[in-house]
Amino acid sequence: MFRPCTLMPLFLLLCTLVYPTPNRDPSTMKMFSVAHKTAFVVDHCPYMAESSRQQVECDVLTKSRAQGVIPLAPVSKSLWTCAVECSMEYCRILYDVYPLNKLINYIVSDSEFHILNTWRQEDQSTHELMSALAAVGPPNPREDPECCSVLHGLVAAVESLCKLTELQHEQRTVLMDTAERVANRGRIICLTNAKSDTHVRMLEDCIQETLMDQNKLAAGSDRLMAIQQCELVLVHIFPMGEDALVSDRPKKEISPLLTSEVHSVRAGRHLATKLNILVQQHFDLASTTITNIPMKEEQHANTSANYDVELLHHRDAHLEFFKSGDLHMAGSTSRDSGLKETVTLKWCTPRTNSVELHYCTGAYRISPTDVNSRPSSCLTNFLLNGRSVLLEQPRKSGSKVISHMLSSHGGEIFLHVLNSTRSTLEDPPSISEGCGGRVTDYRITDFGEFMRENRLTPVAETAPNPGGRFPADRAKAQLERYTRYWPMIISQTTIFNMQAVVPLANLIVKEALSEEDVLTCQKTVYNLVDMERKNDPLPISTVGSRGKGPKRDEQYRIMWNELETLVKTHAAGSERHQRVLDCIVACRSKPPEEEERKKRGRKREDREERPDKNGTKEPEDRAWQDSERLKGALEKEEQESEVIKDSPDSPEPLNKKPRLAIEEVQPSEKAKGPVSLLALWTNRITVANSRKHQEFAGRTSSVNNKAELYQHLKDDNGMDVHENGKASR
Amino acid sequence: MPTVVVMDVSLSMTRPVSLESSEEFQRKNLAVHGLTMLFEHMAANYRLEFTSLVAFSSLWELLVPFTRDYNTLQEALSNLEDYDKTCIESALNGVSNVVQQEWGSSCPCQVVLVTDGSLGIGKGSLRHSLQTLKQRADDKKFPLPFPFPTKMFIMCVANSEELQTTDAMDNLEELLRLSGGDGQIFTMEGQLCLKSVQAMFGRLIDQAYSPFHAVLHCGNLSSDVQVFPRPEPVVVDDEVDPMPRVVNTDLEIVGFIEVGDISSPPVTSRHLVLPIAVIKEAEDVSTGAAEEPEEEVSASQMAGKSPNFCVLLHGSLKVEGMVALVQLGPDWYGMLYSQADSKKKSNLMMSLFEPGPEPLPWLGKVAHLGPISEAAENPYGEDDSKSPFPVQPSIKRSYAQNVTVWIKASGLQTDVQKILRNARKLPEKTQTFYKELNRLRKAALAFGFRELLKGVGDLLERECTLLPDSAHPDAAFQLSHAAKQLRLASAGDSQYAAFDQNIAPMHTDFSS
């Protein structure tokens, strides 16, 4: 006995993966091939209750308990049990490899037909079928054999093939005018015990007749489709030790609509092998045996034995072997007297890293042939736990070629095909040699943050769908909003280099702002005003300008311009977005003309007041003097910002209106002409402070700075008081 | 897609072209002229293409192995010698060898066959090859179709009237059909001269070697790019949708996904995404020819220095370990990621997924991927410790659930032994005992295997008699209870044989 789940990598080998070239074959199954619909018809007549005469010893006595105990007589399965368990195995493999759009309709036939499920996707599971089969139970040996026949089931199968599947219905609706492109083909697998070749011919004729009848019926109906092609696979099952009364017959054409083949097999093991081969043929499957799987044995913890596990999957996973003709080189072996082939691939350590992006040309779902054997379940559990295994193609030359990878995604195991030939894309010019390759100050980290915010997540289909758009469209819309103003390089931006702007920059891109968001944005703006008042330095790039870069005032002007540009691109989004813009326009330092005048005024004041000033003012003064020298550089900077505005990514030119508003605020000041520094300062502080809070209702409505108290007592509704009393910060 | 140029150097190619002018041309000269034009075009606009040159007559020779060095190819062209008769079959065998040795059997290739339409005589002629197509031994099969996907372009240094006087055209058409039908036969229009051969190769260039230009968008950020190699049109299901799907020239990023979440997806093809500078001024500026080389240098330098979105995207994808999901057309997607060729060199790559609404089962439908801001709670967690991927399928696969298969006797024996093992450890193992018992019961009922139910019932009864004196009294109660229930089920009484019912442990007073 070995412990399950103790697969251990035994040895470490370094393996390099070669990233090869694309690989695609157009031979993939058509959407509506015969494989789309399979009707199973299983004979439930009294003779199916007969024993298969294949005995199973289920009481395996251990040596220590052997004395004195009479072992239980071996049990044997009936023909019915054999037929049912082999058909369920067929379904299990099919559903593992094709969870969608390869449908089964299970029909049981005795004195009448019993349809156990429908074509609907939700009915496609072995559990559903097992439950329905349990309800049917084994055949009743006492039933009158005269009224029982598999024919009832076969007729029902043809009728059922005329019924539309969900996919057929959906595609017909989608294609509209070209709905006739949706084909209706299907296969009937009949498991029965036929009496003779004549009996088989009778069954075939009967199906042919039903086909014609049903197609006539379907021609006049919207809910039915005529069958264009039907494949009958008749499996005659007989007990061990008996002679086959029916002979094998390869596929032959009965009519343009119907082909038929007959397989005559003994019940039990032979039947299982037959149906395993059939499911591979019917659904283009192939077999891979994973060899050299190291597993620790429970009794000898230090040793480990190697095991093999056989998997089934779509045969395209072997495309490369088929084409290059080295199927045998790849370790293909024939088993079961040449009926079945498997390709051997070697387990390869070390495991691969999940964050590595392999160049993979195909991924195919697998199903273990022997699902509940120890080695199989060890391998599948190992993979289901999230680990991946690289597989090596054995080659005569001894060179190591990794050709496949086993990996699970969301509880499903896939065989990935990794191509192993030379890449046509090798040695490309590096991205640093191309356009934009010489630029060194890209905002890589910021864009990384941007990508994290724009990651995707599955959205349930039932979720409300604003504006009838798909979630992916909303993801694109979000990208559009987030990139309305997004400078690509560090030296092109000031605001995105400032921690202080982050709260606003993160919020303004949202589709809808809450009242709280607006407050946060406003706070950010006040904070900037505060910084400006304190003369905090800004992270303005000095790239392109000689010397120390623009003067502090100028820096703030650039910053405010950029902030305004950012917010302006969103202002039309909602009234709240507009309010953020209004706040900036109202709070930002004065427009350039104003600034100029101020400068002139201050120049004079400076000269007068310099002796009184303490050291803290000096840096600004120096900056001021520098700024005269750097006027040229400044203009250049301005030009650059103009250039940015003109790029297609930039927002439309500034709307002048808000700026007029600010001029209205300070008309008196303007009229006075030159003012003292103190006056200028206090005024500025007052203005700045006034932006931080909502003005007292009393003061705004005051006359000559006198306000009437308890106005609300006059009018009955005191709503306004409450509103004004609330702190607006 | 690598290219093999297969050049006919048989004697018939030396036939002079009748021209009024004084200069005398051979068909070979025209062919070389056309190929020179093709190589020059590729060197300038398609220089990442690997091209090789094969010359053939009755034998074939690989003159230049696959290379991006177009000077070498040109040089080989100018040193062509003349040989005997045309034998296309052997040349195609040569192509098959050359390609498979270099690229394996799955890499799509373009074959440019340059010939004059006189396809040989007698044994080895194309006519003979096609006539004997069905009478070949396995080791002497006609080389078409090639094992690798092929685009076959047949360049005839002859006009169509000339070809139709013999069966040459029919044979070439048959050849094209055998190759898989993807490709075209080009003939010269009008008189055979330099001009018409240029026109013919010009048509080939337009058809197969014009660079694919697109604009990569991420919201308002964008970049002009060349996608190399050109993405080929794809037919998904020729019955339901016979129209080939073509990649849009506007590539729109939908959003971003972690490399670990996208998890080595299967792709149909891979392409380099190279940012290009669209120089509009170039047309307007009409400066002297002498200054042009300098201008070009400065233009490419300028392009290197102005920020480009591709470079930004590439840098961040690389640093963050993410891919960008990109929409290529209706229900068609791909991914952009950073691909490192060596330690220093890395590039922006685009891989195409199979067309369809759900190319990767573990992502679900791509149209149903939305921004994380819509989710009530960040599905990646505040510290990126979680992920909404992979999407789980609604029904578990057989290997992920405890299915019962008794096709091999060992499967049945193991299941019976499991029950017996637990039976001997009652009452400690009561839960497992009944779990295994019910699993067996369900399967037996579904398979109509009543004999087994009765048999296991008998076994449990026997175990009951074999219980040692030291056994807990509960064990005997549970065993006989289970045995009785199994026997009732085996009798087929619907009350006891219901699939969805389970045998519940007997309630006893020994529970402490």
Contact A428 B327 (CB under 8 A): no
Question: What length does chain B have?
Answer: 512
**Residue B327 in contact with partner chain A when CB distance is under 8 A:** yes
Contact A130 B446 (CB under 8 A): yes
Question: Which regions of chain A are under pLDDT 70?
Answer: 1-29, 61-68, 298-301, 323-340, 350-355, 396-398, 461-468, 541-549, 589-677, 690-705, 707-729
Residue found under tokens 């967690």: B381
**pLDDT for residue B224:** 94
CA-nearest of A348, A352, A388, A379 to A10 is: A348
> For the segment A375-410, what is each residue's pLDDT rounded down to a tens digit?
999 999 999 988 889 999 877 666 778 889 999 998
**Residue B278 in contact with partner chain A when CB distance is under 8 A:** no
ipTM greater than cut 0.85:
yes
In the three-class reduction of DSSP (H, G, I as helix; E, B as strand; rest coil), residue A18 is classed as coil
pLDDT at residue B484 greater than cutoff 90: yes
Closest approach of chain B CAs to the CA of A673, in angstroms?
45
**pLDDT for residue A689:** 72
**pLDDT for residue A457:** 94
Q: Is pLDDT larger for residue B342 or for residue A87? A: A87
Spatial contact of A174 and B357, defined as CB atoms under 8 Å apart: no
Task: Determine which of A357, A374, A480 to mutate to test the interface with B (most B C-beta atoms within 10 Å).
Answer: A357
**pLDDT for residue A725:** 41
Segment B219-229 mean pLDDT: 93
Contacts of B351 in chain A (CB under 8 A): 359
pLDDT at residue B463 greater than cutoff 70: yes
**pLDDT for residue A398:** 67
| Identity of the amino acid at B153 | F
**pLDDT for residue A3:** 41
Contact B497 A134 (CB under 8 A): yes
Ordered domains of chain A (ranges, CATH): 34-55+74-283 (3.40.50.410), 286-418 (2.40.290), 444-454+468-692 (no CATH), 694-729 (no CATH)
* CA torsion angle A438 A439 A444 A450 (round to 10): -120
Least confident range of A268-277, A280-289, B168-177, B503-512? B503-512
**pLDDT for residue A641:** 42
Contact A133 B458 (CB under 8 A): no
Helix runs in A499-591, H state only: 502-508, 515-534, 552-571, 575-587
CB count, 10 Å around CB of B403?
Answer: 20
Torsional sign, CA A378, A379, A384, A390 = positive
> For the segment A280-294, what is each residue's pLDDT rounded down to a tens digit?
999 999 999 999 998
**pLDDT for residue B394:** 85
Q: Between A19, A444, A484, which is nearest B312 by CB?
A: A444
**Residue B407 in contact with partner chain A when CB distance is under 8 A:** yes
Contact B391 A410 (CB under 8 A): yes
Q: End-to-end alpha-carbon separation of chain A, Å?
A: 72
Beta bridge partners, B346, equal: B340
Closest approach of chain B CAs to the CA of A182, in angstroms?
6
Contact A323 B147 (CB under 8 A): yes
In the three-class reduction of DSSP (H, G, I as helix; E, B as strand; rest coil), residue B126 is classed as helix
Segment B165-174 mean pLDDT: 88
**pLDDT for residue A275:** 96
Contacts of A365 in chain B (CB under 8 A): 397
The mean pLDDT of chain B is: 88
CA-nearest of B90, B145, B146 to B119 is: B90
CA-nearest of B61, B17, B15, B53 to B35 is: B53
Q: How far apart are CA A182 and CA A171, in angstroms?
A: 7
pLDDT at residue B147 greater than cutoff 70: yes
Contact A411 B237 (CB under 8 A): no
Segment B226-232 mean pLDDT: 91
**pLDDT for residue B211:** 92
Ordered domains of chain B (ranges, CATH): 3-208 (3.40.50.410), 212-235+246-283+297-374 (2.40.290), 400-490 (no CATH)
Closest approach of chain B CAs to the CA of A527, in angstroms?
27
**pLDDT for residue B136:** 82
Q: How far apart are CA B97 and CA B62, in angstroms?
A: 10
HSE, side-chain direction, 13 A CA sphere, residue A477? 17
Q: Is pLDDT larger for residue B302 or for residue B406? A: B406
**pLDDT for residue B491:** 87
Contact B456 A58 (CB under 8 A): yes
- Buried residues in B273-284 as b, exposed as e (16+ CB within 10 A): bbbbbeeeeeee
**Residue B298 in contact with partner chain A when CB distance is under 8 A:** no
CB count, 10 Å around CB of B61?
Answer: 13
Closest CA in chain A for residue B386: A457
Task: Determine which of A455, A508, A543 to mutate to test the interface with B (most B C-beta atoms within 10 Å).
Answer: A455
